Chains A and B, each alone.
Chain A
Amino acid sequence: MNTPTVSRRNFLKASSLTGLALSLGIYIPTNAEEAEIINAAEADSFGVEMNAWIHIEPSGKVTIFSHRAEMGQGVYQAIPQMVAEELEVDLDKVNIVFAKGDNKKYGNQVTGGSSTVRGSYKNLLTLGATARQLLIQAAATKWNVPSSDCYAEAGQVIHRPTAKRLHYGELVADAMKLETPKNVTLKKRSDYKLVGKPLLRQDTKLKTNGTATFGLDKEIPGMLYATVERNPRLRGKVKNFDDSATRKIPGVKHVFKTKMLVFNTYREGVAVVATSTWAALQGKKALKVEWDDSGFEHLSTDEIFKRQQQALQTQEGLSFKQQGDASAVISQATKKLDVVYETPYQYHACMEPLNCIAHYQDDKLEIWGPIQAPEWVQDAISKEMGLDREKVIVHMTFLGGGFGRKAFMDYPHEAAVISKEIKAPVQVVWTREDDATQGPYRPGISYRCEGVVENGKINAFKLRMAGQNNDHWRGGPKDKANRSTSEGFLKPYADGIKNLSIADVPFETPIPTMWWRSVYASTNGFAYESFMDELAHEAGKDPMTFRREHLPDERLHRQLDKLADVSGWKTRKPGEGYGMAITECFASTVGHVVKVSKGQDGKLKIDHVWAVMDCGWYVNPDTIKAQVEGSIVMALGAATQHQVTFKDGVPVDKNFYSYQLPRINDIPPIDVYVMDNDEPAGGVGEPGLPAFAPALANAIFDLTGKRIRKLPFNLATV
């Protein structure tokens, strides 16, 4: 892209568009060139839309737009923390607003894959630095001094020799007229005041007095409330329904058959629209619906895993990674390990059940809700409803949890369909039962792991997974192995094993599946890192030493050393109940050590969990610790308490009385440590999860000699 020439005419035009404000954003060319920082005028002269991430007004008010969904992981804090660092403003003086869903302006807004910081930190830092440099330049020109004599601090530019100072607001009008510098110097890490510091989150206060607006809390004028009775078999159609009792309930206004888009299928249901949530809930209860469940299999959990495990005994699958000849070594070996691991279907169970407001009017659709992926909502719904993409406006609220579930378009689409039908704004409320029984779920997976150890090292490692491929639901190729077949498995392991084979044995069911926090690493990690432990014992080696010897990587060695240090690994006695595991996903590596013991009642209990996260360059260490703590709690539940089971195609557990989540009395002491280095930034929200289950199972083996190969298991009865 050429250096833009900004004409006077364009300035005026841009100023009239944005008001008098220094407004800077990032422009990401579609031809994947480097992103550029541009101002409003330049954007105008290119005819491109930019993502207006910073606004500085003459009053000195600074507004920073947060373009990603806040679901607990702390982006609401992380984005401004990065921008404010380079801009040199106090974080508490900055006004933070959620940007509307608009990927022309903000680029990819899908909050998933732990990607917010690692995907955009360099651009965001550069953005802040560019604004700072413009303001310094404006002041230097005004004072007629070299800009090198000026510096910025706390929202002011200061002339070092004379201590003269001007507020940013006083410089806005001049700074707006300057050409945006193309090469700015970023601050050194050692000079950071905000980044890397455990600053308190800006959204906490809103969450201690009930003022944070989640999707379910949003209200728009004239809004009605809807519930939907959906097909309990996650597919299929409404044959007929009897709404006579429903219509007698005061407040119920409409009852009709509706549908929502679930990937490439529609799920039918009956909508009840009423003047209050309660009336809509009562109306739903009073419905009698007959379903048409023909045309697909009604599977039960036992059958699913039986089929997976049969396939693993008879099929080689689609090769994902291959080096040497693992199969040959294994077939000739006199001693080998050949075991099967099993991980269940899981439900996201966000504390805030799904909900969405839609207002369809005159070929325009507005949506408000807890939404992880506004642009996908725009894409899918505009296509489905035959609207221009620009006519679908998506507003993000706070999310009461997301974990992957709220990156999905079914519930906004359903709300849009209902609003269109009734010609009024409507909030569709999912009950907990709807939320728990409607999927999509994390797929349940079986793994067959075979290995041969020779002279204390792995000579052959052969792994096959059989489980549903989430990509297939979105049209991914069926003749290729799941792209996440080795997700979670440390890459350097693979480099160090002579004969290695990793393959995906195709497996399908009619049950819709989707990402769940840390995606395939959450299940792969259990199989791979438990098996690594089995191999270590087979080799007669300490599990930490064994891993170290198979990981030719200094950065990982430093992390393992830290893990050994903080957990007292080296001074433990074998058989004392220590286990470890280490996995990588979303460009971050996390190792856990778990210590277990038997209480006086003979029941197993977790005494302590130590975690060491290496996510490279980071923004807020306290947020990282919080995310790892939360990941461990979520992993604990998935390892020892809950799973989605199916009977004749219907999910069995409907609410928390049987789908038991961890509670405060289940939680062991957890210590989290973060490695300090300047490596590229990795993800934070998910990588803390996968290594917990194998570390726990490995600890149980250390204590009891019992190898756990199936999740979830009951701690009390091990």
Chain B
Amino acid sequence: MALQRINAMAIIKLTINGNEQSIDVDPQMPLLWAIRDVVGLKGTKYGCGVAQCGACTLHLNGEAVRSCVTKVSRAAGQKVVTIEGLSQNNDHPLQQAWQQIDVPQCGYCHSGQIMSAAVLLRENPNPTDADIDVAMAGNICRCGTYPRIRKAIHLAAGAEQKVGKNE
């Protein structure tokens, strides 16, 4: 392990949910822990740490990334959106659909589920079941809310078509 590199702290500037922030961190620190421990936003979850479960999904310049394997240095000067910043009032069409269908059980995976689904809908406003399978297969839900996730994405897609793009 390259301890010298770990030693070096650095000031990293990034925009989180529209706010510019400077944080003093080890640049090797995964974005996940920087966001949770340093910035203090706890909506983005730790599930596996190895890009297998999707609980830590957030948007880096609009792309869904696994923040547990993304170094915070990669986000320098970039735009990060977490679940807390997806909408102003918990009313992104996906959040509304999630609420209407009561998708969550324990709820731990759903920050990541919604952030993955948001990118899917932006790129494909009317996804088929097969599209959903591909886009959402990286997000595990141990409580097994998958049938409702599928339903809610379809519902949100319908809503988006009516009201137009939201994010």
Contact = CB atoms under 8 A, between A and B. Distances in A.
Interface of A: 70-74, 200-201, 203-214, 216-217, 219, 225, 245, 248-250, 276-279, 281-282, 285-286, 349-353, 398-403, 429, 431-432, 622, 626-627, 629-634, 655-657, 661-665, 667, 669-670
Contacts of A352: 45, 47, 106, 108
Contacts of A201: 102, 104
B43 A209 contact: yes
Contact of B83 (A210, A248, A429): A210
A398 B1 contact: no
B6 A282 contact: yes
Contacts of B105: 72-74, 626-627, 630
Interface string B144-167: 111111100000000000000000
Interface in B23-79: 26, 29-30, 33-34, 36-38, 40-50, 52-53, 55
Contact of B106 (A205, A209, A398, A431): A398
Contacts of B12: none
20 contacts: A72-B104, A200-B100, A207-B98, A210-B111, A211-B43, A217-B36, A250-B9, A279-B26, A281-B33, A285-B1, A351-B106, A352-B47, A432-B47, A655-B50, A656-B53, A656-B140, A662-B146, A664-B136, A664-B137, A664-B139
Nearest to B104: A207
A221 to B, nearest CB: 13
A306 B143 CA distance: 33
Contact of B95 (A209, A627, A632): A209
B83 A209 contact: yes
Contacts of B134: 665
Contacts of B84: 209-211
B7 interface: yes
Residue with the highest number of chain A CB atoms closer than 10 Å, among B50, B99, B136, B147: B147
Contact of B146 (A213, A279, A664): A664
B144 A210 contact: no
Mostly, the B contact residues are loop
Given A73-B105, A210-B43, A210-B84, A204 B132 contact: no
A350 B109 CA distance: 10
B145 A208 contact: no
Residue with the highest number of chain B CB atoms closer than 10 Å, among A213, A216, A353, A400: A400
Nearest to B107: A207
Contacts of B50: 432, 655-657
Interface in B97-144: 98-100, 102-111, 114, 132-134, 136-144
A487 B107 CA distance: 30
A206 B98 CA distance: 11
Nearest to A685: B105
Residue with the highest number of chain A CB atoms closer than 10 Å, among B26, B46, B138: B46
B92 to A, nearest CB: 8
B3 A245 contact: yes
A278 B29 contact: yes
Given A249-B3, A401-B106, A632-B144, 16 more contacts: A72-B105, A200-B100, A207-B98, A209-B90, A216-B42, A217-B42, A282-B6, A400-B108, A432-B48, A627-B105, A630-B144, A655-B52, A656-B48, A665-B137, A667-B147, A669-B147
Residue with the highest number of chain B CB atoms closer than 10 Å, among A276, A285, A669: A276
Residue with the highest number of chain A CB atoms closer than 10 Å, among B48, B83, B105, B140: B105
B52 A665 contact: no
A204 B99 contact: yes
Contacts of B148: 626, 629
Nearest to B48: A432
